[in-house]
Homo-oligomer: A and B are copies of this chain.
Amino acid sequence: MSSQANHPALLIPGPIEFDDAVLQSMSHYSESHVGAPFVATFGETLSMLRKLFQTTDPTSQPFVISGSGTLGWDLVAANLAEPGDDVLVLHTGYFADSFSDCFETYGAKVTQLKAPIGSRPQLPEIEKALKEKKYKLLTVTHVDTSTGVLSELKALSELVHRVSPDTLLIVDGVCSVGCEDIEFDKWQLDGVITASQKAIGCPAGLSISMYSGRAIKSFQSRKTPPGSYFASFKNWLPIMQNYEAKKPSYFATPSPQLIHALHTSLTQILSKPLSERFAAHRETSQKIKKAVADLGLKQLASDPADQANGMTAIYLPENVKIPDLLPNLLKKGVIFAGGLHKEIATKYIRVGHMGVSVTDPKRDDVDRAIKALEAGLSEAGYQKA
């Protein structure tokens, strides 16, 4: 069951395939969470995250906390919104509904701007909404894992800063950080939350996020205490600052093994220009999307400008059923995911193409995936019309 063993290629939109060196870092011998060697590893990891998010502004603040990506929503909702605050949630699928639930748990008032499935809210309607009400936060799912829809951050940020400059712009980047270009400083983002197990290429178990100095200031001027204990910036901010300054500090015990794996993964990612990494993801995505089109299939995201580069959501042909197709693909050595958007979950499949499956020239995961999909559909009786 070791990292080297033969196993089917995991090509779902997260968790992804992990590099063997990353997996081996997981079995690092036990260290004290406040001892100098681990404190240095954690501190370097936080500094490397600044590079991944392309931020050099010293007021930006990275957080790495044991938890899943979902915890990032609590970090935002319990610290950056206060009870009664208005929040505008751009809706491109399943995850906007959950993020909204999270905001409501902590007392914020949510307005959703919903796009039809496979699309995203357009700038003019966002502008209209921002002019109607004063929003404390606007949230956008950069890549919605349920639909494969990519949102455009640069133009959105320009709009928000022009129309409602006090509104904090928060990005759910769980399925985008590490495979889509994110220029935290240049695009004036206020928060990007993500998780370890997707394009960052480290096993699940870490909530990873970056906040602007403006967001941290907004937190510090709250009138009410944070709504969560485990997700409280008040508890974590000094810890993150101390670790990055290589000073031991304690609020809750971090996971040295996961931090080592993240350190290894970030070191690998940052060993080449980020632009090359993003270009590789775009190229591979184009290859897969071309294969899908050649098969006569449609994506949920119909407009090429709305299509994510790290995953593809594909409508199945009428007569092909998920419970038949996915097990057949598994036999061919690749694991795809079923649908997640509740309205159409049985009608589409999702394939992830992130991390080493894209960047490691020794892997043939993507070619195998395309061949398996072609053969699987053919064996299910599908022929291109």
Contact B30 A16 (CB under 8 A): yes
* Minimum Cβ distance to chain B for residue A309 (Å): 20
Chain A 16-41 interface residues, beta-carbon cutoff 8 Å to B:
16-18, 23-35
Q: Is A3 an interface residue (CB 8 A)?
A: yes
Looking at A211-219, A229-237, A276-284, the stretch in contact with chain B turns out to be: A229-237
Most buried by B among A7, A227, A253: A253
Which residues of chain B are within 8 angstroms of A27 by Cβ–Cβ distance? 2-3, 23-24, 26-27
Which residues of chain B are within 8 angstroms of A31 by Cβ–Cβ distance? 7, 10, 15
Q: Is A382 an interface residue (CB 8 A)?
A: no
Looking at A64-72, A164-172, A182-190, the stretch in contact with chain B turns out to be: A64-72
Contact B335 A32 (CB under 8 A): yes
Contact A205 B24 (CB under 8 A): no
Q: Which of B1, B33, B74 is close to A229, meaning CB atoms less than 8 Å apart?
A: B74
Q: Is A153 an interface residue (CB 8 A)?
A: no
Looking at A47-55, A101-109, A154-162, the stretch in contact with chain B turns out to be: A101-109
Contact B15 A230 (CB under 8 A): no
Contact B73 A205 (CB under 8 A): no
Contact B68 A252 (CB under 8 A): yes
* Minimum Cβ distance to chain B for residue A378 (Å): 24
Contact B24 A252 (CB under 8 A): no
Contact A228 B29 (CB under 8 A): no
- CA A32 – CA B14 in complex, angstroms? 8
Most buried by B among A28, A33, A106: A28
Q: Is A254 an interface residue (CB 8 A)?
A: yes
Q: Which of B5, B77, B204 is close to A33, meaning CB atoms less than 8 Å apart?
A: B204
Given contacts A3-B29, A101-B229, A229-B102, contact A254 B24 (CB under 8 A): no
Encode A329-365 as 1/0 by CB contact (under 8 A) with B. Answer: 0000001010010000000000000000000000000
Contact A5 B29 (CB under 8 A): yes
- CA A112 – CA B307 in complex, angstroms? 55
Chain A 83-106 interface residues, beta-carbon cutoff 8 Å to B:
101-102, 105-106
Which residues of chain B are within 8 angstroms of A231 by Cβ–Cβ distance? 228, 230
Q: Which of B34, B226, B230, B257 is close to A71, meaning CB atoms less than 8 Å apart?
A: B230
Contact A204 B253 (CB under 8 A): yes
Which residues of chain B are within 8 angstroms of A5 by Cβ–Cβ distance? 29
Chain B residue nearest to A10 in the complex (CB): B30
Contact B1 A29 (CB under 8 A): yes
- CA A17 – CA B204 in complex, angstroms? 22
Q: Which of B1, B10, B35, B204 is close to A335, meaning CB atoms less than 8 Å apart?
A: B35
Q: Is A376 an interface residue (CB 8 A)?
A: no
Residues of A at the B interface (CB closer than 8 Å) are 1-3, 5, 7, 10, 12, 14-18, 23-35, 66-71, 73-74, 77-78, 101-102, 105-106, 195, 197, 203-205, 225-232, 250-258, 260, 335, 337, 340
A-B contact pairs, 9 of them (CB 8 A): A2-B24, A2-B27, A7-B31, A23-B28, A26-B26, A30-B203, A74-B228, A77-B229, A250-B340
